Amino acid sequence: MKTIKTAFFDAKPYDREAFDAVKRPFGVELKYFSGHLSADTVHVAAGTEAICIFVNDVVTREVADALHAQGVRLIALRCAGYNNVDLKAVYQRIHVVRVPAYSPYAVAEHAAALMLALNRKTHKAYFRTRDGNFSINGLLGFDLNGKTAGVVGTGKIGRVMTGILRGFGMRVLAFDPFPDAAFAQAGGCVYTDLPTLYREADVITLHCPLTPDNRRMINAESIAQMKKGVTIINTGRGKLIDTRALIHGLKSGKVGAAGLDVYEEETDYFFEDFSSTVIDDDVLARLLTFPNVLITSHQAFFTREAMANIAQTTLGNIQTYFTQDQLPNEICYRCSDDACQRKITGKCF
Ligand code: NAI
């Protein structure tokens, strides 16, 4: 069987482990590179037919031109989102495939972990007891049972999160432009509009994609509508929140806590070790000073099961593209819509 040479950018040890464990049957030869894909590094993909990239590898027009000139025919994203690829620049030259879903449980469970830690201040208690401080002053939380959660986006992850929140005995209000009445009935959530959700929720958790319509949906105006002391959890995308408005809300006490797995300007920092460096992003640095803010570095997806699914699906996408007349999990260039059935044939034009 012919092997498909693939340049693998931004390779971390855990990526190599997950992909090496399952790659044998796929006929894909992976050339690992630790650097990000950029105009400066694209040349390392010379001689390969496909590249495999992650959220912070950016395909600009310049990069797309270079990839095309080098003979690369496929960009395999090993993630769900594709806002880092200039789809117009690759159109009719390079196909783009992705992993639409790898584990909604991983992400929802992480969102729940952030909510629980912030409420019961586990992140603070951990350091106290390790330091011989067994005082519980300042660690007061509240019962989730009987409180109201607001779930924004009831897709794969939002639905799992709804089940978890219901398990805590919470009332769940949900907002989604495409409400699913059957899910609401079976899952026990109540669909409502955003102003009602903002007004009534004690905990708000974001599980919608980033679109031109909802960029910075959590802003000064929406925060003003929320309950005093509201907890905001974001495992969706950083740009859903106006971070400066969030900081203002935290300073005033309007926002009681924030659990953030994603951040507006995360590209510069997340997934890398800056522990010996000065952080020159003053907004991120300010966020990190709050005792009631818990930031994780886009790790909500990071479970064994999700990594195995990502590796299997990505390698399967590459193999299928080069060996069969199919375009698995391809992004529709025209409408960029997951639900577009025509994306399978690339004929949504
Ligand atoms: P999905 O496509 O299954 O569900 C998204 C839902 O959001 C759909 O029901 C859609 O109708 C709804 N929606 C669209 N626009 C909306 C809006 N303006 N307001 C409210 N709802 C809206 O996606 P899935 O798998 O549940 O993922 C959700 C998001 O989670 C992804 O788009 C991604 O941004 C994020 N994510 C984060 C990860 C992490 O590691 N932190 C990992 C995977 C996904």
> In terms of domains, do 98 and 74 share one?
yes
Q: In what order do the strands lie in the sheet with 293-295?
A: 189-191, 171-175, 148-152, 203-206, 230-234, 255-260, 293-295
Q: How many CB atoms lie within 10 A of CB 124?
A: 17
- State the residue range of the domain holding 47: 4-102+303-345
Total domains in the chain come to: 2
List the catalytic residue out of 237, 265, 304, 342.
237
Q: What are phi and psi of 239, to 5 degrees?
A: -75, 0
**Tell me, what's the pLDDT at 327?**
67
> In terms of domains, do 280 and 144 share one?
yes
Quote the CA–CA distance of 312 and 75 in Å, as a whole number: 16
> In terms of domains, do 150 and 286 share one?
yes
DSSP-derived 3-state class of residue 63: helix
Residue whose CA lies nearest to ligand 1 atom number 21 = 153
Is 298 known to be catalytic?
yes
Low-confidence stretches of the chain (pLDDT < 50) are 339, 341-349
CB 19 within 8 A of CB 45: no
> In terms of domains, do 290 and 337 share one?
no
The dihedral of CA 115, 121, 127, 132: what is its sign? negative
Centre of ligand 1 to C-alpha 225, Å, is 23
> In terms of domains, do 246 and 323 share one?
no
Quote the CA–CA distance of 269 and 273 in Å, as a whole number: 8
**Tell me, what's the pLDDT at 210?**
86
Distances (CA, A) of 261 to 108, 206, 253, 299, 327: 11, 11, 21, 7, 31
Residue 68 buriedness (CB in 10 A; 0-12 / 13-18 / 19+): middle
> In terms of domains, do 289 and 226 share one?
yes
The answer, yes or no, to whether any atom of ligand 1 lies below 6 A from the CB of 81, is yes
**Tell me, what's the pLDDT at 333?**
54
**Tell me, what's the pLDDT at 348?**
42
The whole model's pTM is what?
0.90
Last residue of a domain, one of 254, 279, 295: 295
> In terms of domains, do 165 and 84 share one?
no
**Tell me, what's the pLDDT at 336?**
53
CB 270 within 8 A of CB 56: yes
CATH number at residue 20: 3.40.50.720
Residue whose CA lies nearest to ligand 1 atom number 18 = 214
149-185: per-residue pLDDT in tens? 999 999 999 999 999 999 999 999 999 999 999 999 9
List the catalytic residue out of 49, 264, 266, 330.
266
CB 257 within 8 A of CB 118: yes
The two structure tokens encoding residue 84: 């880092």
The answer, yes or no, to whether any atom of ligand 1 lies below 6 A from the CB of 237, is yes
Quote the CA–CA distance of 23 and 284 in Å, as a whole number: 38
**Tell me, what's the pLDDT at 335?**
55
The answer, yes or no, to whether any atom of ligand 1 lies below 6 A from the CB of 103, is no
Centre of ligand 1 to C-alpha 236, Å, is 6
Centre of ligand 1 to C-alpha 153, Å, is 6
> In terms of domains, do 261 and 313 share one?
no
Is 266 known to be catalytic?
yes
> In terms of domains, do 60 and 20 share one?
yes
> In terms of domains, do 212 and 226 share one?
yes
Centre of ligand 1 to C-alpha 44, Å, is 33
Is 200 known to be catalytic?
no
> In terms of domains, do 126 and 262 share one?
yes
